[in-house]
Amino acid sequence: MLDIRFVRENPEIVKENIRKKFQNAKLPLVDEAIALDAEKRAAESEANELRASRNALSKKIGMLMGQAKKDPSKLAEAEEVKAQVKANADRLAQLEVMEAKLSEQLAQIMKVIPQIIDPSVPIGPDDSHNVEVERFGECKVPPFPIPYHTDIMESFDGIDLEAAGRVSGSGFYYLLGDIARLHEAVLAYGRDFMIGKGFTYCIPPFMIHGNVVEGVMSQTDMDGMMYKIEGEDLYLIGTSEHSMIGRFIDQIVPSEKLPQTLTSYSPCFRKEKGSHGIEERGVYRIHQFEKQEMIVVCKPEDSKEWYEKLWRYSVELFRSLDIPVRQLECCSGDLADLKVKSCDIEAWSPRQQKFFEVCSCTNMGDAQARRLKIRYKDENGKPQLCHTLNNTCVAPPRMLIAFLENNLQEDGTVIIPEVLRPYMGGTEKLVPKK
């Protein structure tokens, strides 16, 4: 969410940013916001004048009532002043209602106007215009056919989608045996990998209040993702970023404690509205999964550096598991409204012979901090907004798809990379059961 003062002083910059995001229908909102802000400030100014005059008039009434003891004519004058005070009070009440209404209307519009994107973001209307920046590792295609990921899992008796369908419906799964163990091993490795980078391990609440949801994401994303608890002001989190950033709501973080670098585990719950095609059946796009996340809360001048560090951590982690990846820069039209800059880390699928998303790294700028009032004090003791960033560390079972395909051998076994073996009890390879 932008500062209304910035919008007021730079309307053409804000409009040009909207055009770059191919959201021209939002252009009238800029002028609407400026008009509402002017009306709101005028009401505030008049209200402040009335409050100031109320004090002066109250003193005048007291003085006139004192003089009326000697001069009865002053009593009538005092009554006139009382009538003025009453009229001012009525007007002030009207203005206060008006201020509240205008503030709410302005806030709703400001939540829809997108954040100013970073100048380095490529311009394009949708994800087909995202730009590949760099590849890491050799993208091999083995000389034998690679089965679909659920078929690989079934060869280890590692998944039961049929039972999950009976119990919960589509978009859920049971993981079993070696595949379930591999799932947990990847999460534990991701946790320790980030701890090794100096991040603090956290387990956050898995449900959050509505005001926190509105603070961390746009209304469109909220409607498309979040499950609400019926009868409660609680939502199931779609990612631990939501509750981790919410931890700092209405806080002034001591300057010396920035940056806050955190890695958090949580289950994630998502509606995943819409259809996604044949390659997203199985466990690629599901309603429930687990994830290890990276979160940074920092000073504005440090956020660009942290953005670079975060996505490179993803590359390092996946390469340590022998998975080739690439960095894909998200274009303007593919950025959610709160995002300043974002990239995906995509893993190589030797079965499909293409890349697919496994991590998403984002610099949110001050958007979340402004909504949630997350601040620090600068060297002059003045409160300033923090910047927030997030990135996926590992998100099985999607990550398992990349892992299984890239480590599958012709005999059906799956090699366990050396870094993961301590989390698998020393196991060097998985042997199929059928």
Q: pTM to 2 decimals? A: 0.89
pLDDT of 279 > 60? The answer is no
> What contacts 193, CB < 8 A, 6 or more positions away?
313, 317, 320, 393
The Cα–Cα gap between 225 and 286 comes to 11
Dihedrals phi, psi of 217, to nearest 5 degrees: -150, 165
77-117 confidence digits (pLDDT tens): 666 666 777 777 788 888 899 999 999 999 999 999 999 99
Total residues found in the chain within this entry? 434
Q: How confident is the model at residue 277 (pLDDT cuts 50, 70, 90)?
A: very low
Report the pLDDT value the prediction gives residue 220, as an integer from 0 to 100: 73
230-262 confidence digits (pLDDT tens): 999 999 999 999 999 999 999 999 999 999 999
Residues 388/296, Cβ–Cβ less than 8 Å: yes
Residues 105/293, Cβ–Cβ less than 8 Å: no
Report the pLDDT value the prediction gives residue 60, as an integer from 0 to 100: 60
Torsion of CA 114, 118, 120, 124, to 10 degrees: 0
Report the pLDDT value the prediction gives residue 278, as an integer from 0 to 100: 41
Q: Which domains does the chain have, with CATH numbers?
A: 4-110 (1.10.287.40), 127-430 (3.30.930.10)
333-357 confidence digits (pLDDT tens): 999 999 999 999 999 999 999 999 9
Report the pLDDT value the prediction gives residue 66, as an integer from 0 to 100: 60
pLDDT of 63 > 70? The answer is no
Mean pLDDT computed over 416-427 = 96
Residue 53 CA, distance from chain mean position: 46
Of the ranges 45-59, 128-142, 317-331, 360-374, which one carries the lowest mean pLDDT score?
45-59
Both tokens of 382, joined, read 């003045």
Q: How confident is the model at residue 137 (pLDDT cuts 50, 70, 90)?
A: very high
Q: How many CA atoms lie within 13 A of 206 on its CB side?
A: 11
164-186 confidence digits (pLDDT tens): 999 998 889 999 999 999 999 99
